[in-house]
């Protein structure tokens, strides 16, 4: 704990006892605020834990956190719920004395969650066995069941406990939980029939409707809609977004099976829950005499079946009252108001008694099974958990708040007594004089409430039991008459004129230890009597429902003694609780709610000041600080602060007592600042401890520097020595390794050289052991050279020269390589490019080494056509019809007689060559009539298409000139299948003019292209030679 003192300005102190201004409520709340802001929700007041609800999940309840607090001294770690739980558990085991943990606070402060966390801590950290695991599961699973039947949504809390709970957990000599027992106090039965606006009935009703299976609800006669039931809509808050009733129902059903409820017991229990809802829907009307009559017969049928009673008997019991006077039974009809009271009283009685039965059933499940060994029981110990309502002050305070605040008065009285007692015992054990402590003794208030004959409880019971017309106002008048002079009691009648304005005529005010509370007496007598008409009780005693039968025993009908009132029952159970708590070593957890809106991070100072006051935390702090603020064993104190004195640092060889004395003398402690006990040192003022802690923080810096310097020096020397030894070892090993490698390498090299020389000598012999190494090397060397110098493409004809022994293999490899390159090239080629190549191959076959201008055409791609569809007249295309046009090119046609040049278009279809002049087809040559194609070997572009002369349609051979002669003739040769009919002539070409006449074209080489008619009547063509052959 001392470790956190240096950060006290930011996060406050972990123990309020160390507050310098411990009497200031503002300083107390400011310390709470600092810690809450840093998500530090736990703070001590000595051994008391103050817990502030964070309204969010904090990662401080994991298995790692449990292990951190397990078996650790109380003040060695930061404040936590687990520290309280572990400290109580260790005391229980080491001292073999029963313990109890008292958890208090107002609704929404986190009491129920704290109880769950403590049970989870014991479930995880205690020893384990199969039997123990069963008990652990049942201890944990009883919580959701009790919460379902005993908790409800209120304005302050969505899961508010509406009953007080004390749970005993029994441990064996090994420290394992082996059993448990639960006591419940003052269930708020009035909630069954009435809820304030914004509040709900007990959770189980909504869970059953929301999560129950269709078949179950049908058997119980229920609908899923909670708005159908009068007992569930009083608060107008049936649905709550933050509560998942369906999931909670699954948890409760699972928990009931774990706690060992049979299916029939669960069915009976749910039948009772359903019967309460049906009771709420029972309606009455008045007959002519004003007597009540049941108008909802359907509800009576359901109730009769669920409760196991006769319908007529139940109807009669709800509308009539049985009175026994002088041994005679009288049946009196009820009016509407009385019938409604009887119905509500039955609902409350059924639910209240069922809750008590449920607790008893859980207790049987948790009960410790006696072993055969009679000494076993004596070796077990008990740890109690008290989860009880805190001090309540509402705008309207009634009978329930009176009982709750009376309970808190008794707990405060016990708390102060036990705190003073433990302080006094510690002082006496240490031989330090006890100094009387001034504190408010609330015995005067407890006596005001519970004193025989004159206390409020006695007067209330007397008023309930006396004959005559007793009312809430007669009770108030009796109070004014009996205790009017008590300094802590006040009414409207007894108050002065100023105070009377704040008190109604039906109010009385008590000055509790936590402040003034005004109670309204309306309903005090009815709630205290808690009467159930005799005929209703008889009907329940005759029930065939086993659970109802156990709740309403027949002995009640024959017992002439009047049952105890509610407040007397509560007083007696509270008295037994005080006896239980007095017999145990107590630990305390005080829970605080930071705001009413249930928002994380919001700190409402007014609300917290109110709770600090009502929880008596300042009173507790005052008692704890009346003597000494800090106390520690000598060994712990000396171990922590010995570095502040040269004589005790680094070690002290004498007694711890003497070492602490030397240390305090060196620190110049004044006599009034401390006392030396038998085993502990007591420091009176927090500022003295703070000064010591600050000095230690400064000393730590110099110590850290010295320790770091020494450690670094030692560490570096060790490191250097280790590195040196390692270097020597590595060097030695490496030298040996290098030597061995070098020798092995030389030996291997000699062997290789010998084999190589011998192989060279036998290289021309057939393969034998003498030359196989050399031949393999030659083969390998060639293959590696080949790998590095493979041809890059099919045109690359390079190939490494092979050795004689690999001539054949080299040739095969060369062929394979070429095939592979060709295959790869072909695989990559596109259909368009393939067509291009096929045409180029045909062109090469026809013109290569024959036509002078062929080499210039090789790099130029052949196009699919040289004329677009827009260049050809539409009429021509229409005449051609369905014939596919494969190629089109502009040409020049020379007349057969005068050789006059005329522009034409040459079209290739799938069947013929077509010559077109603008929109007119001049000549059509079917491929079948095309006998050949002639052209010169020079660079001119003229060619002649020879046709069959017997065809009358033809006028003779056609002389044409094309700028793309190689492309055009290749296309014609392919389309007409006349590749072998292309003639390349030298000198001259003869062609048929028509009617048996012939024409001649003479070709000569010259400097430039010239085409003209010669004097001899021939067509003379002069063409330059582009390539020498």
Catalytic residue annotation = 107-108, 112, 157, 160-161, 390, 392
Classify the phi-psi angles of 99: left when phi > 0, otherwise alpha if psi is within -120 to 50, otherwise beta: beta
CB 1016 within 8 A of CB 929: no
CA separation, residue 145 to residues 149, 181, 213, 360 (Å): 6, 15, 18, 13
String of DSSP letters for 955-1020: -S-EEEE-TTHHHHHHHHHHHHT-GGGEEEESSEEEEEEETTEEEEEEEEEESS-EEEE-TTS-EE
**Ramachandran area for residue 775 (φ above 0: left; ψ -120 to 50: alpha; else beta):** alpha
Can you tell me the distance from the alpha carbon of 832 to that of 963, in angstroms, rounded to the nearest whole number? 23
| Chain center to CA of 268 | 38
HEC sequence for 708-728:
HHHHHHHHHHHHHHHHHHHHH
Q: Which helix (H) or strand (E) element contains residue 515?
A: strand 515-520
Report d(CA 411, CA 105) in Å as an integer.
Answer: 12
According to DSSP, residue 202 is labeled B
Provide the 3-class DSSP secondary structure of residue 276.
helix
- As a whole number of angstroms, the distance between CA 875 and CA 315 comes to 111
Spatial contact of 351 and 530, defined as CB atoms under 8 Å apart: no
Give the Cα separation of 835 and 842 in Å (integer): 11
β-partners of residue 397 are: 519
Tell me how far apart the alpha carbons of residues 520 and 171 are, in angstroms, rounded to a whole number.
45
End-to-end CA distance of the chain: give it in Å, rounded: 111
Per DSSP bridges, beta strands 48-52 and 585-592 are: parallel
Tokens 């074209």 correspond to what residue?
1001
Crossing angle between the packed helical segments 130-150 and 245-258, to the nearest 10 degrees: 140
The neighbour count for residue 577, using CB atoms within 10 Å, is: 21
DSSP letters along 395-463, please? SSB-HHHHHHHHHHHHHHHHHHHHHHHHHHHHHHHHT----------THHHHHHHH-TTTSHHHHHHHH
Give 41's strand partners. none
CA-to-CA separations, 439 to 428, 618, 650, 931, in angstroms, rounded: 20, 10, 45, 140
Q: How far apart are CA 272 and CA 351, in angstroms?
A: 8
Structure tokens at 281: 């829907």
Which burial class, exposed, middle or buried, applies to 672 when counting CB atoms under 10 A from its CB (0-12, 13-18, 19+)?
A: exposed
User: Parallel, antiparallel, or unpaired for β 930-936 and 982-985?
Assistant: parallel
Preceding amide of 650 cis, omega within 30: yes
Distance CA(401)–CA(516), nearest Å, equals: 13
Give the residues across from 168 on adjacent strands: 181, 384
Show Cβ contacts of residue 132 under 8 Å, excluding neighbours closer than 6 positions.
Answer: 126, 176, 177, 178
Q: Alpha-carbon distance 129 to 631, whole Å?
A: 40
d(CA 402, CA 425): 34
């Amino acid at each position: 704990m001392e470790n956190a003192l240096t950060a006290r300005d930011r996060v406050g102190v972990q123990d309020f006892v160390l507050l310098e201004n411990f009497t200031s409520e503002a300083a107390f709340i400011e310390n709470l605020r600092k810690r809450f802001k840093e998500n530090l929700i736990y703070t001590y007041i000595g051994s008391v834990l103050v817990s502030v609800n964070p309204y969010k999940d904090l990662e401080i309840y994991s298995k790692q956190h449990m292990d951190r607090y397990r078996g650790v001294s109380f003040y060695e770690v930061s404040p936590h719920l687990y520290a309280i739980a572990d400290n109580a558990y260790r005391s229980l085991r080491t001292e073999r004395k029963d313990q109890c943990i008292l958890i208090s606070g107002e609704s929404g402060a986190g009491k129920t969650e704290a109880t769950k966390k403590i049970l989870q801590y014991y479930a995880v950290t205690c020893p384990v066995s199969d039997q123990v695991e069963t008990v652990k599961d049942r201890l944990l699973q009883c919580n959701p069941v009790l919460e379902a039947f005993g908790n409800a949504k209120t304005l302050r809390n969505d899961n508010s406990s509406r009953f007080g709970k004390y749970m005993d957990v029994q441990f064996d000599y090994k420290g394992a939980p082996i059993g448990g027992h639960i006591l419940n106090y003052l269930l708020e039965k009035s909630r069954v029939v009435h809820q304030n606006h914004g509040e709900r009935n007990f959770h189980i009703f909504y869970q059953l409707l929301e999560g129950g299976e269709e078949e179950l609800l049908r058997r119980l006669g229920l609908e899923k809609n909670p708005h159908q039931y009068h007992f569930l809509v009083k608060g107008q808050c049936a649905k709550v977004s933050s509560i998942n009733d369906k999931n909670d129902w699954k948890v409760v059903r699972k928990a009931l099976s774990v706690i060992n409820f049979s299916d029939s017991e669960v069915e009976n229990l749910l039948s009772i829950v359903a019967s309460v809802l049906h009771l709420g829907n029972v309606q009455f009307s008045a007959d002519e005499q004003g007597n009540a009559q049941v108008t909802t017969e359907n509800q009576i049928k359901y109730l009769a079946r669920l409760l196991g009673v006769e319908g007529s008997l139940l109807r009669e019991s709800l509308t009539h009252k049985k009175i026994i006077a002088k041994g005679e039974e009288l049946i009196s009809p009820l009016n509407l108001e009385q019938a409604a009271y009887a119905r509500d009283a039955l609902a409350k009685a059924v639910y209240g008694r069922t809750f008590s039965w449920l607790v008893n059933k859980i207790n049987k499940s948790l009960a410790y099974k006696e072993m055969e060994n009679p000494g076993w029981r004596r070796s077990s110990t008990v740890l109690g958990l008290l989860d009880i309502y805190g001090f309540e002050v509402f705008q309207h305070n009634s009978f329930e708040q009176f009982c709750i605040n009376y309970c808190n008065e008794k707990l405060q009285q016990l708390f102060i007594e036990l705190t003073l007692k433990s302080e006094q015992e510690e002082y006496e054990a240490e031989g330090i004089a006890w100094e009387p402590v001034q504190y408010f003794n609330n015995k005067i208030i407890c006596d005001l409430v519970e004193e025989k004959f004159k206390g409020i409880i006695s007067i209330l019971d007397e008023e309930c039991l006396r004959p005559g017309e007793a009312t809430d106002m007669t009770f108030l008048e009796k109070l004014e008459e009996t205790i009017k002079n008590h300094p802590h009691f006040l009414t409207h009648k007894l108050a002065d004129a100023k105070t009377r304005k704040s008190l109604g005529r039906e109010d009385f005010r008590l000055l509790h230890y936590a402040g003034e509370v005004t109670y309204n007496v309306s309903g005090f007598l009815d709630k205290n009597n808690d009467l159930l008409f005799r005929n209703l009780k008889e009907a329940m005693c005759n029930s065939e429902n086993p659970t109802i039968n156990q709740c309403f025993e027949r002995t009640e009908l024959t017992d002439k003694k009047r049952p105890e009132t509610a407040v007397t029952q509560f007083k007696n159970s509270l008295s037994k609780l005080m006896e239980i708590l007095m017999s145990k070593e107590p630990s305390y957890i005080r829970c605080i709610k930071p705001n009413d809106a249930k928002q994380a991070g919001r700190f409402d100072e007014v609300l917290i000041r109110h709770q600090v006051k009502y929880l008596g935390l300042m009173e507790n702090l005052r008692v704890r600080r009346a003597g000494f603020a800090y106390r520690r064993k000598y060994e712990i104190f000396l171990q922590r602060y010995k570095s502040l004195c040269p004589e005790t640092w680094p070690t002290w060889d004498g007694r711890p007592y003497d070492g602490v004395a030397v240390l305090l003398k060196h620190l110049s402690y004044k006599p009034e600042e401390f006392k030396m006990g038998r085993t502990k040192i007591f420091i009176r003022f927090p500022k003295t401890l703070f000064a010591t802690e600050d000095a230690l923080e400064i000393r730590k810096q110099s110590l850290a520097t010295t320790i770091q310097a020494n450690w670094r020096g030692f560490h570096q020397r060790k490191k250097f020595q280790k590195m040196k030894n390692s270097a020597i070892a590595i060097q030695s090993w490496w030298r040996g390794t290098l030597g061995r490698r070098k020798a092995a390498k030389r030996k291997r090299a000699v062997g290789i050289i010998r084999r190589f020389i011998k192989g060279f000598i036998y290289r021309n012999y057939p393969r034998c052991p003498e030359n196989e190494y050399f031949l393999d090397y030659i083969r390998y060397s060639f293959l590696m050279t080949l790998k590095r110098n493979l041809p890059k493409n099919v045109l690359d004809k390079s190939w490494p020269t092979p050795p004689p022994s690999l001539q054949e293999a080299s040739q095969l490899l060369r062929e394979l390589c070429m095939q592979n390159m060709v295959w790869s090239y072909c695989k990559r080629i596109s259909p368009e490019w393939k067509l291009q190549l096929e045409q180029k191959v045909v062109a090469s076959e026809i013109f290569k080494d024959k036509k002078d201008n062929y080499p210039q055409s090789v790099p130029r791609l052949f196009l699919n056509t040289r004329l677009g569809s827009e260049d050809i007249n539409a009429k021509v295309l229409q005449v051609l019809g369905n014939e596919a046009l494969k190629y089109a090119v502009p040409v020049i046609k020379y007349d057969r007689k005068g050789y006059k040049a005329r522009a034409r278009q040459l079209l290739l279809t799938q069947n013929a060559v077509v010559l077109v002049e603008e929109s007119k087809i001049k000549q059509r040559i079917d491929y079948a009539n095309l006998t050949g194609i002639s052209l010169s070997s020079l660079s001119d572009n003229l060619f002649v298409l020879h046709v069959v002369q017997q065809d009358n349609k033809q006028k003779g051979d056609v002389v044409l000139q094309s700028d793309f002669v190689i492309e055009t003739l290749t296309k014609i040769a392919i389309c007409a299948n006349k590749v072998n009919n292309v003639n390349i002539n030298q000198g001259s070409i003869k062609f048929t003019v028509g009617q048996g006449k012939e024409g001649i074209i003479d070709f000569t080489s010259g400097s430039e292209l010239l085409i003209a008619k010669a004097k001899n009547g021939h067509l003379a063509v002069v063409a330059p030679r582009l390539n020498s052959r």
